[in-house]
A and B are shown apart, each in its own frame.
Chain A
Amino acid sequence: MSLVQSFPLFSIVLGLLCAVVCFVTPKQWGRRITLALLLASCVMQGWVLRFCYGNQAGYTYQLGHYPAPWGSEITAGLLEPGLGLLCSAVMLLAVIGGGRHIGHDVADGKQHLYWVAVDLTLSALLAMCYTNDIFTAYVFIEICTISACALLAVREGGRSLIASVRYMVFALIGSSLFLIGVVFTYAVTGQLLFPQLREAVAALWAAGTYRFAMTVAIALMTAGLAVKSGCFPFHGWLPDAHSQATTASSCILSGVIVKGYAVLLIKIIYRAIGAEVFMASGAQHVLLLLGIGGMVGCSIDAIFAKRLKVMIAFSSAAQIGYLFMGIGMGTAAGLTAALLQIVNHAITKPMLFLSGSQLADASHGRMDFPSLRGAGHRNVPAGILFTIGAVSMVGVPLLAGFIPKLYFAREAFTLGWQRWPVLLGLAVSTVLNVLYFLYTAVLIWLPQEADCRFKPVTPHWDEFVPGFVLAGLNVAMGIHPGPLVALIEKAVALLGR
């Protein structure tokens, strides 16, 4: 077994260890340790991705001396290291870009805890990507939930406590639904590892025994993960959580954490339950309709939002709707489009949060739209980044946001009754996106009033360079999506195997 195959395990444990080290060292070390960890994680995930891509095959890695049904395992195909790389890279850019805000928003005595939470979140996300064991998945869901709560609550003042309590309530409902689902699944199959579980579920479904309990278990696990990733109509915690958190936390939460749960749901559907049984249970239609509901409903909420970050947060909920619509299509091409949407949203939304909060900084920290008028002139890099992000979110060709929409629409024509709801949802959502995103993008470039009380700011390199890296990725994905699409199609093919 080559060294690179141990990298998934190493990166998960390294995250946990760095969290422990940050917990006991002075605060100025925390930032350096976390940046080094995120960088190392990027390198390791990239290496694993290259290894798996070279072999055109995944592998499972046994944890301990006992083989599959007795011990635990982690598994790496193309999907897992790819998403691990995406998570690590986005988190790295988010903590660099939001670094100044962390220093400002987080009290001195608690900064080391912020870095602890970031490290734990990375580790939990990686474990959720790589796991091949449903109970390991549950344990790391808990770590992710609790550390995300720390990411939210660490900022003092405002409504951050209310926001984190609200998040906690939703997240715990999601966790408990998921846990009851796992318990039911275990009771009727007696297995916890994904491959064995899939065999057992298929046998059970064919025999027709315990079918009601199994259906309820599937519904509970799906609902639990949907609540945790902010699927419509369970997105009530998103706006507060995002608008009250510090910038880096918003980026991490919206960019990767909510995706982590969705990815886990995809893995559970295709590896643990089996696509055939899941589609037979009918849960995918519910996901499809909730997804379309989110695309339209959350976009309307975003139009009515009075503050910039709340608007971006509602837009996140709408984008999660696209993702669930893709999962709900139930086809390989639909899943490909959903994964493209994950990549698109993970690189675009942090860019919007970073540039949006810098525009607010150029308006004395105010986030209401009248104050933001002309903010692009006061902070030009942030204005440019926000405009690119907004235009991409609308789905203009040559930017990343266009690609998933194109694939969703293309796939919609092969579907049955779902065709018209999907196409209609895409059309309405795009029009609504135009309304609120282009409006904001125009607003920040309006000429400033003569008596404007806000002064132009000179941004530091670390504030806009991460944003431009994300913008570069965005444009690259928009102009030349071929390699990414090919990679994701291979990953989807490996996933179902």
Chain B
Amino acid sequence: MANSDSAFRRWLRGEVDLSAELRTAEMPAPPEGERYEPRHHPALIRMIARQSHRLYVALVAVLCVVLFTVLLLAAANLPAYGDAEAPTNNQVSERYVNQGVEETGALNAVAGMMLDYRAFNTLGESFVLFAALCVVTVLMTRGRRKHPLPSETDYADYYADPIVHTMCKVIIPVILVFGVYVLVNGHLSPGGGFSGGAILSSALIIYAMVWGDERAHGAIRESTVRRTAALALGFYAVSKTCSFYMAANGLTGVASPGVPGRIFSAGLILPLNVAVGLVVCCTMYSFYMFFRRGAL
């Protein structure tokens, strides 16, 4: 780059042959895959490169050790696990535990926290999944594909195996029912949107593995997956914004906690759990299909 610098100085001195100077500065980019060969003092430059690489590795090792030590020391400085005097056992968690059932109507305190006390964060988290879905779509649907995806025959053909095939016919409906159970009982028992959605998507993924991608693609349309995810996210965003807006203006929501323990209770938590579950299910199934066949 001394080139452009000195070119500039020469231009300042009034020599207008800058263009010629610049043309010599123009270096054709080395073709891809070819190693860069320095023009001047190749041996010296290679030696410097080797040494600086060694220095780099040494610095990285030192940095890792330092970071490791500092993080361990800091973790040792944290309050002990289960310590009753720990700062986290304050009025915040006290209210979540003691008044959670009464205020949110959810027997599952985690669901109450996630979808009622801190519903805005969970809204963001479901959109993190959505953003990830978009990026995977962007990355996997590339126009000019250099390496074609492996074809069906490159994988084990599970459909041909009668044991796998027959067992899956039995298992998939059971998994689906279990997923729906976990999803809609999220406010009553451990589970909820994230775990229920993952279970539902596992049933769909098993279906796609055994019966083949093409058949799964025919049965579960791309537009269905996309619209389901979009509707679920839209429902979450709109319903929760209404709830926030009403709360900010001092109105009590239409959704009441109801009788804790009933299936239709806990206000918005049940529909929000279903929405989150659908988003998780669509995202995970789409990930599988994108990495498997390059399209939904």
Residues of A within 8 A of B (CB): 1, 5-6, 9-10, 13, 16-17, 19-21, 23-24, 61-66, 69-72, 107, 109-110, 113, 116-117, 120, 123, 127, 133, 135-136, 139-140, 142-143, 146-147, 149-150, 153-154, 156-157, 161, 180, 184, 186-191, 200, 204, 210, 212-213, 216-217, 303-304, 306, 368-370, 373, 435, 439, 442, 446, 449
Contacts and interface: CB of A to CB of B under 8 A. Distances in A.
Determine the main DSSP class of B at the interface with A.
Answer: helix
A110 B295 CA distance: 12
Contacts, number: 201
Given A110-B138, A113-B138, A187-B88, A1 B248 contact: yes
A180 B71 contact: yes
A120 B248 contact: no
Contacts of A369: 4, 22, 25
Given A146-B135, A210-B78, 18 more contacts: A21-B234, A63-B120, A66-B103, A120-B127, A120-B131, A135-B118, A135-B121, A146-B131, A150-B134, A153-B138, A184-B74, A190-B87, A190-B89, A210-B77, A216-B74, A216-B77, A435-B8, A439-B4
A23 B230 contact: yes
A425 B237 CA distance: 47
B143 A113 contact: no
Interface stretch (B90-98, B151-159, B203-211): B90-98
Contact of A373 (B22, B78, B142): B22
A64 B91 contact: no
22 contacts: A9-B244, A21-B230, A23-B229, A61-B248, A62-B247, A64-B243, A65-B247, A66-B103, A69-B92, A70-B92, A107-B143, A120-B127, A142-B131, A143-B124, A187-B78, A190-B86, A210-B78, A213-B78, A369-B22, A373-B19, A446-B19, A449-B19
A279 B144 CA distance: 53
A63 B111 CA distance: 17
B74 A20 contact: no
Contacts of B95: 70
Given A13-B237, A69-B91, A107-B143, A6 B245 contact: yes
A229 to B, nearest CB: 19
B238 interface: yes
Contacts of A123: 127
A17 B95 CA distance: 32
B50 interface: no
B87 A188 contact: yes
A53 to B, nearest CB: 21
A370 B20 CA distance: 9
A252 B50 CA distance: 38
B79 interface: yes
Given A136-B121, A150-B135, A156-B143, A184 B78 contact: yes
Given A6-B248, A190-B89, A442-B11, A116 B134 contact: yes
A17 B253 contact: no
Given A61-B248, A70-B117, A135-B121, A186 B88 contact: yes
A439 B10 CA distance: 12
Nearest to B247: A65
Nearest to A213: B77
A420 B274 CA distance: 60
B147 interface: no
Q: Which 5 residue pairs spanning A and B have beta carbons closest together?
A: A139-B124, A216-B74, A146-B131, A190-B88, A190-B87
